[in-house]
Amino acid sequence: MAEYREVLYERLYVKVPGTEKLRKTADGRLKHLLSTGWREIDRIRKPDHLVVHVERTGQTPLRGRLPKGPPPQQRMDRRPRGPSFGGPRGRR
């Protein structure tokens, strides 16, 4: 049976160009990925960001279609009808 593998390349911005100190949001994103089962494979340094290669393996997700729900009920028209309501010849 084939192995299922998910691969992500995340661009994480740094505080100071040329360093590896991540911004608060990028640091939180990386911590979240690592805590949910992703493994860091590689880091590529760019002047203003890091490209982090992360991947995880596991079972193949189910790719079935969900059944369509019933159609929505028709709404009643709540506007009053007739010449005595609204329009240029409305209530006098």
- Note the pLDDT tens digit of each residue in 11-58: 999 999 988 899 999 999 999 999 999 999 999 999 999 999 999 998
Instruction: Specify the DSSP element, H or E, that contains 28.
Output: helix 24-35
Residue 8 belongs to domain spanning: 4-58
- Asked, for residue 88, whether it belongs to a domain, the answer is no
**DSSP helix/strand/coil, 83:** coil
Whether 23 and 15 have beta carbons less than 8 Å apart is answered as yes
Predicted local confidence at residue 30, as pLDDT? 96
- Asked, for residue 87, whether it belongs to a domain, the answer is no
Instruction: Specify the DSSP element, H or E, that contains 13.
Output: strand 4-13
Predicted local confidence at residue 1, as pLDDT? 56
Q: How many domains does the chain have?
A: 1
